[in-house]
Amino acid sequence: MKRRKPDYFTKTKWSKGAAKAAGIAMLAGILLGTPGNAEAAQPHSSYWYPDTLLEWSPATDKDAAFNRGTVKLRQGRFLGETVNPNAKAEANVIALSAMYPSTSGAPSQGSEKFHTYAFSFWQYIDKLVMWGGSAGEGLIVPPSADVIDAAHKNGVPVYGTVFFPQTEHGGKLEWLRDFLQQREDGTFPVADKLIEAARYYGFDGWFINQETQGATKDDADKMRLFLKYMQQIKDPGMDIIWYDSMIDEGKIQWQGALTDKNKAFFQDGPDRVSDAMFLDFRWQYKDEVNGKYDYVTPYLKSPEIAKGLGRSPYELFAGIDVEANGYNGEYNWPVLFPEGKTATTSLGIYRPDWAFNSSETQEEYLEKEQVFWVGADHDPSKSEETAPYSWRGISHDIADKSVVTGPEFITHFNTGNGRLFAVDGKVMREKDWSNRSLQDILPTWRWIAESGGPGKALTPSFDFSRPYYGGSSLKVAGDLSSDNPTHLKLYKTNIPVSATTELSLIYRDNGAAGTVQIGVAFSDAPEEYIFVEPKKWTSAGEGGAWREGSVQLNKYKGRTISGLSLKFVSSAPVEGYEAYIGELAVTQKQNKAKPPKAVTGLKVLENDFRDGIYGDARLAWEAPKDGEDVPYYQIYRVKPDGAYELAGMTGNTVYYVPEMKRLDKEAATKLVVIPVNRQYEPGKPASVTFEWPAYPKPMAGFEADRTLIAPGESVQFTDKSSEVTEGWEWIFPGGQPSSSTERNPKVTYLQEGTFEVTLKATNQVGEDVVKRQMITVTKEAAGGVSDLALGKQATASSYVNEKEAPPFALDGDDKTKWCAVGDGPHTLTVDLGAEHKISEFVVKHAEAGGEAAAFNTRGFRIQLSSDGENWTDAVQVGDNTKGISKHAIALTSARYARLVVEKPTQGGDTAARIYGFEVFGLNRD
């Protein structure tokens, strides 16, 4: 399959019709003159409480358009032949996965990070719930656009979450009753909005988890009516899924089975209440010794109860909790999947994102993900011998499904993230990125690599260093010889062969003696693979580093391809053989896609600028008239030298271009949007230009590693001036040296006293000066300074529970915290016991305690007081992102210190999480 070579990555003059910037937003600097950051226009995925959902409208939510999925749920997902003899074809799987570290702050269209949860084992799940919600962030969480796209591409419906937390985790009964409010005509306004959101964003329904204690039978009855109403108003294909928690009396009483206490939330006589139920984890447990509890027996009765209600037992999902231990836990597989019998119910997996959350690197994540889904042998066709309760991989019990149906299939083995981004073999971006919307349909079998001789088969993996299109390719590596070929089975397919069907392959390798053949199996003989090889290979990619070839299959017309594979062979031994597969495709020679026309109406909706040299842009455009054949749009930034740099790709007609750095003091920047057809051929470009603000003069700022020292000690100063600074002039009265033009000087003070520090930052545009009376030199500091707050008395505006009370922020233990939820600001007040001279504060935020960086406190103040009544600001921070932040001040006397948390997280979560609040200064002794 030939490609039109791109011809638009050349120098291009800017269009005169420039779109002007929407404006500049700057936040105030912090205490020592550090320049501020703008709140970028990054769109985020939605999250709501019941009352805020009622207020929501796509017409007034400027992020709404960015959160729409663009891939419709793919139909025709099929089971086909199973590769593992133990797999149960009748059982389904639902995954409750947190696709982001937090409910708030989830970017709508991917991010500038590589190490992200790019889940890809879609072949083993039938439903995905985007798990989220908390008392501090929001209770109602729709799936983000990239999750919708990735799931739908693989034929998997995806659901939002409604989560009412337990009271000890901040749950409020009033939220439940706000949710269940009913009009006089019997309709439910929140239900109407839930369906509206699902329709607008393009996902498939809701998972409802009510765990807030204190509800009554009336609340339970109303919940059942609410669910029935949703059944009436939902669209065909939408599902409402219920979590086994609330019972018909209104109590929270997890059953771990379908019982008389919870069946009314599943089926009520002739009325369907929910389309599926996730059974609590306790179904696995039975006290065999003392007989105190038995959850296994009620669970085993669940299928008959379901059938008695006219429902399938496979609409019940027996849950396992893998959030903490993943595949290191023990699970009662024999009860769920009895040997030689059909599965008891379907399987529910709570938090399979464990594989990502417990990994430090993407490589570690991919390894854990592999073991989780296909077992320690890394081969879904193998059945491992394990203890009954030990992990054996989901593929041991669940048959894989596929959406690779005809007549066309193209994959670049793109996982949806990368360290760079290539387009037709040319690297167009050299920065980290992730966007699950761009993930290809990845191999069904990971991995079935069979050696054709006595040696070891080549090892397959995803490679992020040599992609052909996107961020990754398929790599095989090892020793290859003529008597030891490797057969790598990849895809389960259902592709009818016509007279015009052809296979094509693009790859590169390091062995002149090695070559790659394409394997096809047909439905009438699924175990037999026929291997074909292009007669002619042509150069592809930048510098001709890749080989491209195709084979026509007209001789197999009328048969159906049931499997796609690759075979690696060599005419001579090749040690350390490596091959990278950039594209594998099945296409119709007579059905080539047309190059798309240019988009129309391209405009910059909004810009935000930071420090005068960083800017972002929100773009919008209209699809070309042939837009039905445009699955993606490429968005490029044109650099001052005319080079094109890929900002990203999307299937949407809006896109957020992440923060760009101004280059060579450019006055304007051109952005280009190029539609791409289903065969990844580019269409005509359209462009728009935005103007930068006037080039700024510097903003001076600095930090000192300490402000209280003994005579003869030194202070390390660190420049924190804005990035446009070109020169530094320091003045240190009483210090050695007394002046410096270094960027980060070190200064020694010999005499006692309080000394001023001055920094003048300069560039060609102008200068800025910051002056602080801040260095105190005293013999009292000879013994050092200490944390005056350690173990002292603390009070707070609120806290979640006794285990997260104020004293835990002062105990010196980074594993304990003070946590407050609800509306802010949140305050933590410390009585130091007596007046002390204070020089520095250290605040340990969420990341210091092992939580996600998204929960780090964004905006806060630190105040001091002598009487506990009258307070003075000592520190103001509006743009913190660090897990541990340090704040040196001029020596100040005070007895009380107060931390005022004004913006608790990087996103919308309103919960404060402080693992340490340290106040350093001189002891009075």
The Cα angle at residue 772 between residues 769 and 777, in degrees rounded to 5 = 140
pLDDT at 19: 34
d(CA 807, CA 790): 9
Mean pLDDT, range 6-33, rounded to an integer: 30
pLDDT over threshold 60, residue 11: no
Whether the CB-CB separation of 591 and 407 falls below 8 Å is answered with yes
Residue environment code for 98-127, b if the CB has 16+ CB neighbours within 10 A, otherwise e? bbbbbbbbbbbbbbeebbbbbbbbbbbbbb
pLDDT over threshold 70, residue 7: no
pLDDT at 29: 24
Residues 55-102 have pLDDT tens digits of 999 999 999 999 999 999 999 999 999 999 999 999 999 999 999 988
| Residue 679, number of CB atoms within 10 A of its CB | 18
Residue 267 burial class via C-beta count within 10 angstroms: exposed 0-12, middle 13-18, buried 19 and up? buried
pLDDT at 925: 57
Residues 418-460 have pLDDT tens digits of 999 999 999 999 999 999 999 999 999 999 999 988 889 999 9
What pairs with residue 690 in β-bridges? 669
Q: Which residues contact 525 (CB under 8 A, 6 or more apart)?
A: none
pLDDT over threshold 90, residue 38: no
Matching residue, tokens 């290191």: 328
pLDDT over threshold 50, residue 691: yes
pLDDT at 890: 86
pLDDT at 737: 98
What pairs with residue 862 in β-bridges? 875, 899
pLDDT at 27: 21
d(CA 581, CA 563): 17
d(CA 558, CA 211): 55
Q: How confident is the model at residue 35 (pLDDT cuts 50, 70, 90)?
A: very low
Residues 361-409 have pLDDT tens digits of 999 999 999 999 999 999 999 987 789 999 999 999 999 999 999 899 9
Q: How confident is the model at residue 137 (pLDDT cuts 50, 70, 90)?
A: confident
Q: How confident is the model at residue 1 (pLDDT cuts 50, 70, 90)?
A: very low
Q: At what angle do helices 189-201 and 217-233 cross, to 10 degrees?
A: 40
pLDDT over threshold 60, residue 3: no
SS3 content of the chain, % helix, strand, coil (to 5): 15, 35, 45
Q: Which residues contact 821 (CB under 8 A, 6 or more apart)?
A: 135, 136, 170, 798, 800, 910, 911, 912
Matching residue, tokens 């008959």: 304
Whether the CB-CB separation of 179 and 50 falls below 8 Å is answered with yes
pLDDT over threshold 90, residue 17: no
Whether the CB-CB separation of 136 and 170 falls below 8 Å is answered with yes
881: left (phi over 0), alpha (psi -120 to 50) or beta: alpha
Mean pLDDT, range 155-182, rounded to an integer: 96
pLDDT over threshold 70, residue 305: yes
Residues 781-822 have pLDDT tens digits of 987 789 999 999 999 999 988 889 999 999 999 999 999 988
Whether the CB-CB separation of 241 and 275 falls below 8 Å is answered with yes
pLDDT over threshold 80, residue 28: no
Q: Which two tokens stand for residue 662?
A: 């101004």
Residue 853 burial class via C-beta count within 10 angstroms: exposed 0-12, middle 13-18, buried 19 and up? middle
Mean pLDDT of the chain: 93
Percent over 70 (pLDDT), the chain: 95
d(CA 459, CA 575): 13
Whether the CB-CB separation of 566 and 488 falls below 8 Å is answered with yes
pLDDT at 22: 30
What pairs with residue 494 in β-bridges? 405
pLDDT at 755: 95
Which 3 state secondary structure label does DSSP give 896?
Answer: strand
pLDDT at 736: 98
pLDDT at 512: 80
d(CA 95, CA 655): 29
Whether residue 313 is preceded by a cis peptide bond, meaning omega within 30 degrees of 0, is no
What is the DSSP secondary structure assignment for residue 124, as one 8-state letter?
Answer: G
Residues 836-877 have pLDDT tens digits of 999 999 999 999 998 888 899 999 999 999 999 999 999 999
d(CA 298, CA 300): 5
d(CA 634, CA 615): 19
**Strand 786-787 relative to strand 793-796: parallel, antiparallel, unpaired?**
unpaired
Q: How confident is the model at residue 505 (pLDDT cuts 50, 70, 90)?
A: very high
Amino acid at 210: Q
Q: How confident is the model at residue 177 (pLDDT cuts 50, 70, 90)?
A: very high
Q: How far apart are the first and last CA of the chain?
A: 82
pLDDT at 36: 37
Is the Cα dihedral 370, 376, 378, 380 positive or negative?
A: negative
Q: Which residues contact 225 (CB under 8 A, 6 or more apart)?
A: 182, 186, 188
pLDDT at 6: 37
| Residue 232, number of CB atoms within 10 A of its CB | 9
Between 922 and 194, the more confident residue is: 194
Mean pLDDT is lowest, of 389-393, 697-701, 844-848, 889-893, for 889-893
**Whole-model pTM?**
0.89
Residues 619-630 have pLDDT tens digits of 999 999 876 789
pLDDT at 5: 37
Q: Which residues contact 770 (CB under 8 A, 6 or more apart)?
A: 32, 33, 700, 701, 702, 758, 759, 761
